[in-house]
Amino acid sequence: MSFALKRREESVSKDDILAQRRPVTIKDVARLAGVSPKTVSNVVNNRPVVKPATRQRVLDAIRALDYHPSALARGMVTRSRRLIGLVLADITNPAYPEMVEGVASLARQAGFMVMLCNTGRDPDEEQRYVHLLIEQRVDGVIIASSRMDSQAAEMLTSAGIKVVLFNRHPQQYSVSFVGVDNEGGGYLATRHLLDLGHRRIAFIRGTRGASTSIEREQGYRRALAEYGIEPDPELIGWGDYHPEVARTAADLLLRMKNRPTAVFAANDVMALSVIDAATSLGLRVPEDLAVMGFDDIAIASHRLIGLSTIHGDLGQLSREATTLLLEAINGNLTEPVRKILPVYLVVRRTCGAQRLTAIHE
Task: Decide: residue 135, CB within 10 A, 0-12 exposed, 13-18 middle, 19+ buried.
Answer: exposed
pLDDT tens digits, one per residue of 122-156: 878 888 898 899 888 899 999 987 666 567 787 88
pLDDT tens digits, one per residue of 33-73: 889 988 988 887 667 788 889 988 888 888 888 776 655 45
Query: For position 170, what pLDDT does the model report?
Result: 63
Which CATH number does the domain 4-77 belong to among 1.10.260.40, 1.25.40.10, 1.10.10.10, 3.40.50.2020? 1.10.260.40
Q: Please tell me the distance from the alpha carbon of residue 240 to that of residue 208, in angstroms, as a whole number.
A: 7
pLDDT tens digits, one per residue of 283-341: 999 999 999 999 999 999 999 999 999 999 988 999 999 999 999 998 888 888 999 99
> Quick one: angle between helices 182-195 and 211-226, nearest 10?
40
Better-predicted residue by pLDDT, 61 or 198: 198
Q: Mind giving me the DSSP string for 115-176?
A: EEEE-TT-HHHHHHHHHHHHHTT-SEEEEE-TT--HHHHHHHHHTT-EEEEES---SSS--E
Whether the per-residue pLDDT at 91 is higher than 90: the answer is no
Q: Helices marked H in 233-267 — which ranges? A: 243-254
Q: Please tell me the distance from the alpha carbon of residue 183 to that of residue 210, in angstroms, as a whole number.
A: 13
Q: Please tell me the distance from the alpha carbon of residue 88 to that of residue 101, in angstroms, as a whole number.
A: 13
The CATH superfamily assigned to 182-313+344-360 is: Response regulator (3.40.50.2300)
Minimal CA–CA distance to 180: which of 144, 224, 141, 139? 144
Amino acid at 213: S
The whole-chain average pLDDT of the chain stands at: 86
Residue 274 binned pLDDT confidence (cut-offs 50, 70, 90)? very high
Q: Please tell me the distance from the alpha carbon of residue 20 to that of residue 165, in angstroms, as a whole number.
A: 48
Q: Assess if CATH 3.40.50.2300 describes domain 81-180+314-341.
A: yes
Task: Decide: residue 119, CB within 10 A, 0-12 exposed, 13-18 middle, 19+ buried.
Answer: buried
Whether the per-residue pLDDT at 220 is higher than 60: the answer is yes
Percent of the chain with pLDDT over 70: 87
Q: Collapse the DSSP code of 259 into the 3-class scheme (helix H, G, I; strand E, B; otherwise coil) and give the result.
A: coil
Residue 130 sits at φ, ψ, to 5 deg, of -60, -45
Query: For position 86, what pLDDT does the model report?
Result: 95
**Do 81-180+314-341 and 4-77 have the same topology in CATH?**
no
Peptide bond into 286 cis (omega under 30): yes
| Domain edges within the chain | 4-77, 81-180+314-341, 182-313+344-360
pLDDT tens digits, one per residue of 161-190: 999 999 877 665 678 899 999 999 999 999
Q: Collapse the DSSP code of 225 into the 3-class scheme (helix H, G, I; strand E, B; otherwise coil) and give the result.
A: helix
Residue 353 binned pLDDT confidence (cut-offs 50, 70, 90)? low
- Tell me the pTM: 0.74
Whether the per-residue pLDDT at 20 is higher than 80: the answer is no
Minimal CA–CA distance to 163: which of 71, 84, 74, 75? 84
Q: Which helix H or strand E contains 210, and what residues bound it?
A: none
